[in-house]
Amino acid sequence: MLKLSLIAFLVLLLTACGAGSGAGLDANGQPAGNAPATPLAADFTSIQQNIFTPVCTVCHSGASAPLGLRLDAANSYAALVGVSSVEVPSTLRVNPGNPASSYLIAKLEGTAAVGGQMPLGGPALSQESIEFVKQWIAAGAPPAVSAPPPVNQPPSVISTNPASGSTVTTLPATINIAFSQEMNAASINNTTVILQRSGGDGNFTSGNEVAITPASLNLSTANPALLTINLTGIASTDDSYQLKLVGTGSAPLLDLNANALDGDGNGSAGGDYLLAFVVQAPPSGGGGLQATWRSIQDNVFTPICIVCHSGASAPEGLRLDEANSYAMLVGVTSQQVPTLLRVSPGNANNSYLIQKLEGAAGITGSQMPRGGTPLPQTTIDIIRQWINAGAEQGTTTPPPPPPGNTAVGVTLSAPTSVASGDELTVSAIVVNNSGDVSGLSSTLGWTPQDSWRLRSGNATQSIATLNAGQTVTLSWTLRAEEVGTTALTVTVTDNNSQTIGSDNANVSIVD
């Protein structure tokens, strides 16, 4: 599980991604199960198909990907190449032409100064597999082969970190924006890249917004389609944040062909792009924690565990979001040690959850949270009290969502290129960051209109209910038609037909 790798990830947060048992790899450190049609080779497409997609995206996908590191096909290149490591900021995750100074290689080979070898807890990738990754980096870490965009094709945003609609525990040191093509550095300044927070009321029309001036705005020299917004030295304040990338007016963001940003995703130059996210720090230590499910959910499971343990791909099937955690813990047999219950009401000592948190002898895998600092014993003792008292769920009303957190998070996953005539399945992960909702609709669209044909799944799919913290995955099967660069967009609307979340991906159709 390269899934936990690559950047410093869960060492910065207390996480409980329990999928470090080696699932997804065979005994030789090769991806197990259904082998991709393309064998592993020293090119990005093959590495994506053989390593990142089958192994890493178990955790590293969707709005809740650890530290925002999304390694699905639509996002992984922009998240790795030319991007500074979080654990060792002086080192790039992938340094084109120099595998020896690429943090990805150090983590795969177990030579990094911080944290353990990747994948954590599972068999290491074979040296042969790592050598393929090294060869790709040594060759300059080129992206997937695809047709270059037409001269008149405007740039668009294909990936952001943090993801739009997400909630993070602290203001990130950097915000990364990946564009569909190389950008003109001269057009990037504080009038085309505008960051502000709401001033505490969750909206950006009250006149009390607080402007934030980044320490720097830089295109990566290794990946000129990647913009890094440096927020070093800016204090983290719990609030709603909005980043505007300007594609309108007389001086918008431009690509190298002087095309203005297509911020609204309609396929035409012009239109601002808005990235919204919320900063909400979790309670520290055991302060305020009570021996109730409600309090444990709010202070432990939600801010710490659901970084990995959410959605259809949650490790061991254990989803610890608010809608699922109680039902998946209390009275449920542990998959790693089937003789124990995850939570045995009235018996904390024989609850596998406690054994994993305390790192007891005989547990399978390592202590939770994997790769991070163990929970304070005071916190674990309060969880013990809840279990010994019968592990009741209770009926306490959940707290209100953080300010401005009314949208859903949407993550669209699609390959970067496909051959004309081939069929592919694209998926969208929708996560509810707010209160319970119903009557949502998710619609897949694309431009140009003649580039794709829908083969299965309605273009608009209904979501009957989506509880707070719950995730749903939707999918569509498409047939590639006309050769060229295309834009896929998923839009989620509420029962008033108001857009509350969206994501997009560019896919090249080649001969």
pLDDT number for residue 261: 95
Candidate from 403-417, 423-437, 448-462 with smallest mean pLDDT? 403-417
Question: What average pLDDT does the segment 129-156 reach?
Answer: 83
Is residue 393 situated within a structural domain?
Answer: no
> pTM to 2 decimals?
0.51
pLDDT number for residue 404: 37
Is residue 398 situated within a structural domain?
Answer: no
Q: How would residue 38 be classed by pLDDT, with cut points 50, 70 and 90?
A: low
Predicted confidence (pLDDT) at residue 18 exceeds the cutoff of 60: no
Is residue 288 situated within a structural domain?
Answer: no
- What is the chain's length? 511
- What's the pLDDT tens digit per position in 216-238? 999 888 778 889 999 999 998 98
Q: Phi and psi of 178, rounded to 5°?
A: -100, 125
Most confident option among 94-103, 161-170, 393-402? 94-103
Please list the residues that pair with 490 across neighbouring strands: 444, 503
Q: How would residue 313 be classed by pLDDT, with cut points 50, 70 and 90?
A: low
Give the whole-angstrom CA distance, residue 409 versus residue 276: 10
Candidate from 101-110, 261-270, 403-412 with smallest mean pLDDT? 403-412
Spatial contact of 67 and 8, defined as CB atoms under 8 Å apart: yes
Whose tokens are 């949407």? That residue is 410
**For residues 75 and 50, which has the higher predicted lDDT (pLDDT)?**
50
Residue at which a domain ends, from 251, 280, 309? 280
Both 33 and 106 in one domain: the answer is yes
Candidate from 112-116, 181-185, 251-255 with smallest mean pLDDT? 112-116
pLDDT number for residue 433: 63
CA atoms within 13 A on the CB side of 501: 26
pLDDT number for residue 511: 78
Predicted confidence (pLDDT) at residue 8 exceeds the cutoff of 90: no
3-state SS, 47-99, equals HHHHHHHHHHHHCCCCCCCHHHCCCCCCCHHHHHECCECCCCCCCECECCCCH
Nearest CA among 431, 412, 429, 430 for reference residue 486: 412
Candidate from 76-85, 124-133, 441-450, 495-504 with smallest mean pLDDT? 495-504
Q: How would residue 438 be classed by pLDDT, with cut points 50, 70 and 90?
A: confident
Both 15 and 129 in one domain: the answer is yes
Question: What average pLDDT does the segment 470-493 reach?
Answer: 82
> What percent of the chain lies above the pLDDT cut of 90?
16
pLDDT number for residue 184: 95
pLDDT number for residue 213: 96
Spatial contact of 372 and 10, defined as CB atoms under 8 Å apart: yes
* Residue-number span of the structural domain to which 188 is assigned: 148-280
- What's the pLDDT tens digit per position in 334-348? 888 888 889 998 888
What CATH number does residue 162 fall under? 2.60.40.1220
**For residues 61 and 444, which has the higher predicted lDDT (pLDDT)?**
444
Both 255 and 316 in one domain: the answer is no
Both 240 and 157 in one domain: the answer is yes
Both 69 and 30 in one domain: the answer is yes
**For residues 410 and 405, which has the higher predicted lDDT (pLDDT)?**
410
Is residue 287 situated within a structural domain?
Answer: no
336-339 contacts at long range (C-beta below 8 A, 24 or more positions apart): 336/18, 336/21, 336/363, 336/364, 336/365, 337/362, 337/363, 337/364
Question: What average pLDDT does the segment 324-335 reach?
Answer: 86
Give the whole-angstrom CA distance, residue 336 versus residue 271: 51
pLDDT number for residue 252: 96
Both 265 and 239 in one domain: the answer is yes
pLDDT number for residue 32: 53
Give the whole-angstrom CA distance, residue 18 versus residue 364: 10
Candidate from 110-124, 254-268, 286-300, 387-401 with smallest mean pLDDT? 387-401
Is residue 181 situated within a structural domain?
Answer: yes
Is residue 17 situated within a structural domain?
Answer: yes
pLDDT number for residue 211: 96
Predicted confidence (pLDDT) at residue 414 exceeds the cutoff of 50: yes
Both 220 and 174 in one domain: the answer is yes
- Overall number of domains in the chain: 4
Question: What average pLDDT does the segment 160-180 reach?
Answer: 82
451: which DSSP letter? Answer: G
262: which DSSP letter? Answer: -
pLDDT number for residue 21: 39
Both 67 and 89 in one domain: the answer is yes
Helix (H) or strand (E) holding 98: none
Is residue 101 situated within a structural domain?
Answer: yes
Both 169 and 223 in one domain: the answer is yes
Query: What average pLDDT does the structure give for the chain?
Result: 78
**For residues 468 and 480, which has the higher predicted lDDT (pLDDT)?**
480
Both 307 and 239 in one domain: the answer is no
Question: What average pLDDT does the segment 290-295 reach?
Answer: 85
397: which DSSP letter? Answer: P
Question: What average pLDDT does the segment 348-369 reach?
Answer: 81
Most confident option among 216-220, 436-440, 448-452, 461-465? 216-220
Is residue 174 situated within a structural domain?
Answer: yes
Both 134 and 23 in one domain: the answer is yes
Both 94 and 203 in one domain: the answer is no
